[in-house]
Chain A
Amino acid sequence: MNRRDARLRDESGARDKLGLGTALRTWGLRHAQVFFYSLGQLWRTPLSLLMTATVIGIALALPTGLHVLLQNAQRLSDGWDGAAKISVFFGLPTLESQVRKVQTDIQQLPEVANVVFISREQALSEFKQQSGFGEALNALTENPLPQVLVVSPKSSTEPTALDQLVERLRALPQVEYVQLDRQWVKRLFAIMAIASRGIDILGGMLALGVVLVIGNTIRLAIQNRREEIVVIKLIGGTDAFIRRPFLYTGFWYGLAGGIMALVFIDGAIALLSGPVERLAGLYHTPFRLYYLDLITITQLLGVSIGLGWMGSWLAVGRHLRAIEPR
């Protein structure tokens, strides 16, 4: 901040001893003027602005759009984690009445949606039907299958609460083994984590692309205004003064590109949502695609403006020194 103060003093105080208040006000006014002047300059060539913004928009829409799809998928699978079922196996000598009593106890727990009792006979006949070992099983003199309670937790249950529930069930008398059936959910999450990392990498590369696109656009703008830069340097313009309109131009490119990306993403979601809802209907789930929320929109625009600023900063830093009056 000290350097900026010093510069403010330099710019105003070198010639006329203006009050700091006047100097600050003039400085702010000058910034506002350059801010809108640079927009006006871009507005004069709408087609080239539109094309640059579209390139930036596509580059930003790709990773952001994939991110949104992934978020949607996570929203969908969040329900599945809660829908994991817990199988509680009882020791063979346990009486059915004892199991029934445990069933009503479990039913009382707040995290539990419902509990289904499967008797040894039921289990055996199901197993005969589904395993295809029907004949072989007939050879058994004794039913080897235990009694089972299948516990469905409420779908809103957090993963940690689910683990606690499993621990509690394990501690119950006569319970021999408790199995939480969510291995596949964990695998799904692992896959999604990989997808998420992949999108981050893609996003990083495309962000670099955006910086270079804007840098190149600004480089051309600098070359077009070479004459003006020379004159400004001749009559005592500081580097900051010369840099300012280009930085604001970068800002506008970033903002325009970000808005373009928003249009692309929400457009794509609108196109996809119909078929997705039809598919969800076939699975009897009320799932629907979510559009970008306010936080994501703010982040997208912020990142996009930041990249625009960075790109023009790099271009200006590299090319401004090369232009010196001779």
Chain B
Amino acid sequence: MIQFINASKRYPSGFDALLNVSFELQAGEFAFLTGHSGAGKSTLLKLIALLERTSRGQVIVNGQNTQKISRRRIPYYRRNIGFIFQDHQLLFDRSVFDNVALPLIIAGLPPREIGRRVRAALDKVGLLSKEKSSPITLSGGEQQRVGIARAVVNKPAVLLADEPTGNLDPELSLEIMQIFEQFRQVGVSVLIASHDWDLIRRLGHRVLTLKTGRLIADTQGVT
């Protein structure tokens, strides 16, 4: 589903954020991306979401070489990727429902279909009762779950998360991870950047370790 072939990213300043990274993530596979801050975790996710372009090498997602996707086609490409942020990037001027509905509105779905899918997504993250609330009234864990609902509402093939539990206590973090687990089970590829070693060890999935832009370890899970 996601394939990196000797991918490198050098920023205009000359800084090498990623160097010759190669790995492959299958459909329905769950992996953690770990390393100290500045190791290149966020850059790697950004290359997949085309927030940044690869400098050398290739990144192939869902059979598409991301280098060959024109600027005009990027929006359509991104609709197949769910992205979850540490600061969840919710819009506070609208309700939970409207936040989750946004990807579907963008995709041009009819209103009835939108209502059905938004409620299904909110149900999955356990927030069906909060659809009319404003995100600002929710707790940190709930806000993150709204972010997840928005990321999965148009059924993407790939789910990326950048430190999704960075601001949460261990118990809530585990809850969030269990939600991701559910999506893996229905065939979604999940890649989560995190440096929460305890949590990673407990879940026992595949772990990709980055250090100063190089992939130094790729350990399979032990479940």
B23 within 8 A of A: no
Using CB atoms, name the residue of chain A closest to B73. A10
Binds A, one of B24-32, B98-106, B170-178, B213-221: B98-106
The reply to whether A26 and B109 contact each other, CB–CB distance below 8 Å, is: yes
Contacting residues, chain B, for A22 (C-beta < 8 A): 110
A107 within 8 A of B: no
B: contact size bracket: 20 to 34
A287 within 8 A of B: no
Distance between Cα atoms of A227 and B93 in the complex (Å): 11
A16 within 8 A of B: yes
A230 within 8 A of B: yes
Contact of A236 among B75, B90, B93, B110 (CB under 8 A): B75
Contact of B76 among A10, A26, A29 (CB under 8 A): A10
Distance between Cα atoms of A11 and B109 in the complex (Å): 9
B206 within 8 A of A: no
B14 within 8 A of A: no
The reply to whether A29 and B111 contact each other, CB–CB distance below 8 Å, is: yes
The reply to whether B102 and A11 contact each other, CB–CB distance below 8 Å, is: no
The reply to whether A236 and B91 contact each other, CB–CB distance below 8 Å, is: no
Instruction: Enumerate A17-35 residues with CB–CB distance to B below 8 Å.
Output: 18, 22-23, 25-27, 29-30
A235 within 8 A of B: yes
Distance between Cα atoms of A14 and B156 in the complex (Å): 12
Contacting residues, chain A, for B102 (C-beta < 8 A): 231-232, 235
Instruction: Enumerate B59-83 residues with CB–CB distance to A below 8 Å.
Output: 75-79, 83
B6 within 8 A of A: no
Distance between Cα atoms of A119 and B109 in the complex (Å): 92
Distance between Cα atoms of A220 and B188 in the complex (Å): 40
A236 with B76: in contact, given A23-B108, A25-B110 (CB under 8 Å)? yes
B184 within 8 A of A: no
Distance between Cα atoms of A174 and B196 in the complex (Å): 117
The reply to whether A235 and B110 contact each other, CB–CB distance below 8 Å, is: no
Q: List 18 A-B contacts (CB under 8 A).
A: A11-B106, A14-B79, A18-B109, A26-B108, A29-B111, A30-B105, A228-B93, A231-B90, A232-B102, A232-B106, A235-B79, A235-B83, A235-B106, A235-B150, A236-B77, A236-B78, A236-B103, A237-B75
Given contacts A16-B113, A236-B79, 11 further A-B contacts (CB under 8 A): A11-B108, A12-B108, A14-B76, A14-B107, A15-B107, A15-B109, A234-B78, A235-B83, A235-B102, A236-B77, A236-B106
List the 5 closest pairs (A to B, CB-CB), nearest first.
A236-B79, A236-B78, A11-B108, A238-B75, A12-B108
